[in-house]
Amino acid sequence: MSHAAGPQPPRQLHLNINILHSGFVPSAWRVAEADPHAFIDVAHYVRVAQIAEAAKFDAVFLADNASIADQIGFRPITALEPTVLLASIAAATSHIGVIGTASTSYNEPYNIARRFATLDHVSAGRAGWNVVTTADLGSARNFGREAVPDHTERYARAAEFTEVVKALWDSWEDDAFIGDKINGHFVDADKIHPIAHHGKYFDVQGPLNLPRSPQGHPVLVQAGASPDGRDLAARHAEAVFSASQSFDESLAYGRELKARAAAYGRNAVKVLAGLTTIIGATESEALRRRDELVDLIPWSYSLTRLAGTLGIPADRLKLDEKLPDNLTLPGGGNGNHTFFHATIAQARRHGFTVRELIRSLAGGGGHRVIVGTPEQIADDIEHWFKAGAADGFNLMPDVLPGGLQDFADGVVPLLQQRGIFRTEYEGRTLREHLGLARPDNARVWQKSA
């Protein structure tokens, strides 16, 4: 069955809310309005999602990690498992998409195919899977490994994993389900196919025990910055989260990625740039808010975190000096490329000392931070969007839900007035929000023997 896309609406900005527990700034949980329990409180996540839905955001996004942070003492951690939490969020919302992260290194493709397809069914077509390979040692040691698998192996496994998941999602033809009560034909078994995958990492017979999901399959999301990561994104991702600190980097990243995707015959990948906002009625009020938040973070915490991103001992960083020269990718190229490069570029561009760098990142881990009035933020977003440096943003407010509420009240109306963001949902599925067609079943099945 063919699912032709309808007439294209004018290009629209996309906005996701990244619900990182109490907010992106590490001290977010310490502000007066914050409940320290929020990181494990489903009501907190639902409340944030409902604010985002009222503001007509495309999706909720949940990061993930299957280990405890090394610096467990100071700040909240990624705790609740995304697919279960997103099902709770989906039940309390009606339109907003629900995108969850899951690792290809520490799961099995059948389980992931099934769980995200289930999320797509229970949310009536609002699910997305953010494919990650997981680079931290803590996770490796929770899954029987004494070291992080090397970068090449992780991405080779991720590529095969993603292909198996997509094949499983397509293992039922679209018209395999019959439901003929009179004649007792529940499904047409000839239209449900084993995938018989036998690869380097996986042997999976299939079929999946679920019909194709409302969106055809969940939206595939990726965030790779390394060459292997970009290749995976180009081959499979329908939306990509980027971590570019500057307009030029983001423009170049998006162009390069879309060219790679086009080389695979794909022309519908959306680039969503990570963006932390710190909003004030005036710029100086916003800067004061940022400084108050940063002052609530112990410098020892920020230094250790920055050193982790850079792959060096914390004592090599001096608060009032610049970053050391000759930094190399952590783990012999096995670390997190995205934040390593973005952080160094940010420091070099502005000539920052370590203290200034940490302040400019709002204590954060590498995503871009804008500090300013709603007008300033809307201007920045409009500029990036119209010039093609991003198709949208993965918003990571300083504090949740307050920072999102400020964005919804102050920035969203400006974007709507400027005609670049929806005032009502036009569709019901995440694909419809993102302007992505429902994919045809990619497999041409032989008649089963």
360 is in an annotated binding site: no
d(C-alpha 156, C-alpha 163), whole Å: 11
Between 209 and 284, whose beta carbon lies closer to a copy of itself? 209
Between 85 and 395, whose beta carbon lies closer to a copy of itself? 85
Burial label for 181, CB within 10 Å (0-12, 13-18, 19+), is exposed
For residue 76, say if its preceding peptide bond is cis, omega within 30 degrees of 0: no
Q: How far is the CB of 92 from a copy of itself (least distance, A)?
A: 6
d(C-alpha 342, C-alpha 339), whole Å: 5
Q: How far is the CB of 85 from a copy of itself (least distance, A)?
A: 6
423 is in an annotated binding site: no
Q: How far is the CB of 257 from a copy of itself (least distance, A)?
A: 30
d(C-alpha 11, C-alpha 240), whole Å: 17
Phi, psi of 417 (to 5 degrees): -60, -30
64 is in an annotated binding site: yes
88 is in an annotated binding site: no
Between 214 and 274, whose beta carbon lies closer to a copy of itself? 214
Whether the CB-CB separation of 359 and 350 falls below 8 Å is answered with: no
Q: How far is the CB of 321 from a copy of itself (least distance, A)?
A: 26
d(C-alpha 143, C-alpha 137), whole Å: 10
Between 79 and 387, whose beta carbon lies closer to a copy of itself? 79
- Which among 154, 157, 132 is positioned nearest to 61, based on CA atoms? 132
Between 18 and 22, whose beta carbon lies closer to a copy of itself? 22
Q: How far is the CB of 36 from a copy of itself (least distance, A)?
A: 3
Whether the CB-CB separation of 248 and 346 falls below 8 Å is answered with: no
301 is in an annotated binding site: no
DSSP-assigned letters across all residues of 226-278: SHHHHHHHHHH-SEEEE--SSHHHHHHHHHHHHHHHHHTT----EEEEEEEEE
Q: How far is the CB of 89 from a copy of itself (least distance, A)?
A: 9
Enumerate residues 6+ apart whose C-beta is below 8 A from 62.
18, 19, 82, 85, 86, 99, 100, 101
Q: Which residues pair with 102 in a beta bridge?
A: 131
- Per the annotation, where are the binding residues? 64, 101, 151, 155, 226
- Per the annotation, where are the binding residues for FMN? 64, 101, 151, 155, 226
